[in-house]
Copies of this chain bind each other. A is one copy, B any other.
Amino acid sequence: MRADMQFLHRNMPAKKARGKVFVVIDVLRATTTIIEALSNGCTEVIPVATVDEAFDQVKKSIQEETLLGGERGGLKVDGFDLGNSPREYTRYVVSGKRIILTTTNGTKAFQKLAGCEFVLVGGFTNVHAVVQRCIALKADPVMVPAGLRGGFSLEDVVCGGMMLDILEKSGVALMDAAKAACILYKSFHRDLPEMARDSEHGRELIQLGYEEDLDFCLQTNVSSSVPVFRKGSITLD
């Protein structure tokens, strides 16, 4: 096994993806929200790229069972049931429901991996569970940080670095980019919440009033759920 890190996500042709397990990471906040929703009994999350697509999808479904979630500019979209804060996705709200989700960075990453055999959903909240699943799948792990507006997102790279650090200790070889992510994780591991608060994305969310989301998203290993993306849908398998 050999683990890698894609510093920016990009289209992954099915041929190149064979024998690989991709871990999409959007700590602030899409993948943390997906992990939380499915842990709380949501039946499936459908990631879509645009707000229009989200409204189209919900029209096709039985209204009561489907919720619209996501953000633009960090804020809940007009007409949506939920924003992109994991704290909104409580058991009371999401249990037994399908969720159509569209966010600025995270849901785009899933689109680029459509058709790949193994795509997992990771965040700080389920680091250990994701690593165990990667090892069980015996495929080469590739961390895919969702990025911030197509650019670098420190918190996602550091989260991937935390997973890669454990994988390396389990005997998995690391590509250069994966080694670099590990070094970044080790440089921040003593205070991950502070790393997030001081990141570009973290500062934006604090300014929008979402500081509590940062605390939520920076919890490590509080969930054993490993959401899986397959055929356009994210479920707990």
Contact = CB atoms under 8 A, between A and B. Distances in A.
Interface residues of A, number: 19
A153 B176 contact: yes
A237 B179 CA distance: 38
A151 B152 CA distance: 14
B177 A184 contact: no
A61 interface: no
A199 B175 CA distance: 9
A215 interface: no
A42 interface: no
Number of copies of chain A assembled together: 2
Name the residue in A177, A199, A200 with the highest tally of chain B Cβ atoms < 10 Å from its Cβ.
A177
A176 B183 CA distance: 15
Contact of A154 (B6, B153, B179, B199): B179
Interface in A92-130: none
Contacts of A177: 151-152, 154
Contacts of A67: none
Interface of A: 5-8, 151-154, 157, 175-177, 179-180, 183-184, 187, 199-200
A200 B184 contact: no
7 contacts: A5-B152, A152-B180, A154-B179, A175-B200, A176-B199, A183-B184, A183-B187
B176 A200 contact: yes
Nearest to A176: B154
Contacts of A154: 176-177, 179-180
Contacts of A157: 180
Contacts of A183: 183-184, 187
Given A8-B8, A176-B200, 20 more contacts: A6-B151, A7-B7, A7-B8, A151-B177, A152-B175, A152-B177, A152-B180, A153-B176, A154-B176, A154-B177, A154-B179, A154-B180, A157-B180, A175-B200, A176-B199, A180-B184, A183-B183, A183-B184, A183-B187, A184-B184
